[in-house]
């Protein structure tokens, strides 16, 4: 049976496999689509080990908040693949949805425990290996975050209109204030903080920033007597760039995020921010 362009297109959309692989499988199966899928799976599973060392730097982030205000749980996952072609395909997006649902239902707090959780009677790792086989790309769960608070807001951002969300954020507040929480989540997506408070920054990191600030000031020829003040100012600048509560609020740069929360009578208890591949 001759393989048509329509057959190749349909099977490629169904499996997410490459065009040449689909054509070869259909030819070998004499046009039988079900048999071609089996051929793709068999050949793909043989290649899983070969793909282990390849980079999966594309993909998507997905989030879900469950529970009623007053007791909410937010879950954020990053699911990766190798190319943006696969990332925007229906098969991969549906698989990522299953991964998110399993992360929510299992209560997994990290990728390792999520991969061990069962989906339809199989460990998620095995499910991903099977998808890896038919799609022909390395697929992995890179990160999982889970926050519990009276109110959790999620925000997903598309960096390109033809791709699924590439940036995902969860923000947890101790007060039921959805508008403020969403504003902080959108700010977090745009400004990419690394820590909630300066107390979370390691002593090693702070010491390194002080050393860099002092070395830079000396290189610039600053007066010795002025060095302590200059170093302190630059270290504080580091905190303002990287600590969420100390950042200038994106919608109103005259206020810090901490001031925005204080004006709302709320406190942030945690956040998570994933950017695909970063």
One domain for residues 270 and 135: yes
Q: What is the CATH number of the domain that holds 28?
A: 1.10.8.10
One domain for residues 82 and 137: yes
One domain for residues 210 and 183: no
pLDDT tens readout for residues 147-161: 999 999 999 999 999
Residue 41 domain boundaries: 5-46
Secondary structure of the chain as H, E, C letters: CCCCHHHHHHHHHHHCCCHHHHHHHHHHCCCCHHHHHHHHHHHHHHCHHHHCCCCCCEEEEEEEEECCCCCEEEEEEEEEECCHHHHCCHHHHHHHHHHHHHHHHHCCCCHHHHHHCEECCEEHHHHHHHHHHHHCCCCEEEEEEEEEECEEEEEEECCCCCCCCCEEEEEEECCCCHHHHHHHHHHHHHHCCCECCHHHCCHHHHHHHHHHHHHHHHHCCCCHHHHHHHHHHHHHHHHHHHEHHHCEECCEEEEEHHHHHHHCCCCEEEEEEEECCC
- Give the total number of structural domains in the chain: 3
In a domain, residue 261? The reply is: no
Paired strand residues for 143: 78
**Residue whose structure tokens are 């204030």:** 177
In a domain, residue 251? The reply is: no
In a domain, residue 96? The reply is: yes
**Model confidence at 224: pLDDT above 50:** yes
Give the predicted TM-score (pTM) of the model: 0.78
**Model confidence at 167: pLDDT above 70:** yes
**Model confidence at 49: pLDDT above 70:** no
Q: What is the CATH number of the domain that holds 78?
A: 3.30.479.20
One domain for residues 75 and 180: yes
pLDDT, mean of residues 213-234: 91
One domain for residues 130 and 156: yes
One domain for residues 62 and 175: yes
At 34 the pLDDT is: 82
In a domain, residue 256? The reply is: no
One domain for residues 42 and 102: no
In a domain, residue 157? The reply is: yes
At 32 the pLDDT is: 81
How sure is the predictor about 14, in pLDDT bands with cuts at 50, 70 and 90?
low
Distance CA 216, CA 9 (A): 58
One domain for residues 92 and 226: no
One domain for residues 117 and 27: no
Distance CA 202, CA 273 (A): 19
pLDDT tens readout for residues 68-120: 989 999 999 999 998 888 899 999 999 999 999 999 999 999 999 999 999 98
At 51 the pLDDT is: 45
In a domain, residue 252? The reply is: no
One domain for residues 112 and 86: yes
Distance CA 34, CA 26 (A): 9
- Rounded to 10 degrees, the C-alpha dihedral 191/192/196/197 comes to -70
One domain for residues 228 and 111: no
Distance CA 267, CA 278 (A): 28
In a domain, residue 258? The reply is: no
One domain for residues 128 and 65: yes
At 6 the pLDDT is: 78
In a domain, residue 19? The reply is: yes
């Amino acid at each position: 049976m001759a393989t048509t362009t329509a057959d190749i297109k349909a099977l490629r959309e169904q499996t997410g496999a490459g065009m040449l692989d689909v054509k070869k499988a259909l030819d070998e199966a004499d046009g039988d689509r079900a048999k071609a899928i089996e051929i793709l799976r068999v050949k793909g599973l043989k290649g899983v080990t070969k793909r282990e060392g390849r980079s999966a730097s594309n993909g998507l982030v997905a989030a879900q908040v469950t529970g009623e205000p007053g007791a909410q749980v937010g879950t954020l996952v990053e699911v990766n693949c190798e190319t943006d072609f696969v990332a925007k395909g229906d098969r991969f997006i549906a698989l990522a949805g299953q991964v998110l649902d399993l992360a929510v239902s299992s209560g997994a707090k990290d990728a390792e425990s999520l991969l061990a959780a069962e989906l339809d009677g199989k460990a998620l790792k095995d499910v991903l290996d099977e998808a890896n086989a038919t799609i022909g790309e390395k697929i992995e769960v890179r990160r999982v975050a889970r926050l519990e608070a009276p109110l959790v807001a999620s925000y997903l951002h598309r960096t390109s209109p033809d791709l699924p969300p590439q940036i995902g954020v969860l923000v947890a507040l101790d007060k039921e204030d959805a508008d403020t929480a969403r504003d902080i989540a959108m700010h977090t997506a745009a400004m990419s903080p690394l820590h909630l408070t300066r107390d979370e920054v390691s002593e090693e990191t702070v010491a390194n920033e002080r050393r860099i600030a002092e070395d830079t000031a000396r290189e610039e020829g600053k007066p010795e007597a002025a060095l302590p003040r200059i170093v302190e100012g630059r270290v504080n600048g580091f905190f303002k760039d990287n600590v969420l509560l100390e950042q200038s609020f994106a919608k109103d740069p005259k206020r810090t995020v901490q001031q925005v929360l204080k004006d709302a009578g709320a406190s942030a208890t945690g956040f998570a921010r994933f950017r695909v591949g970063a």
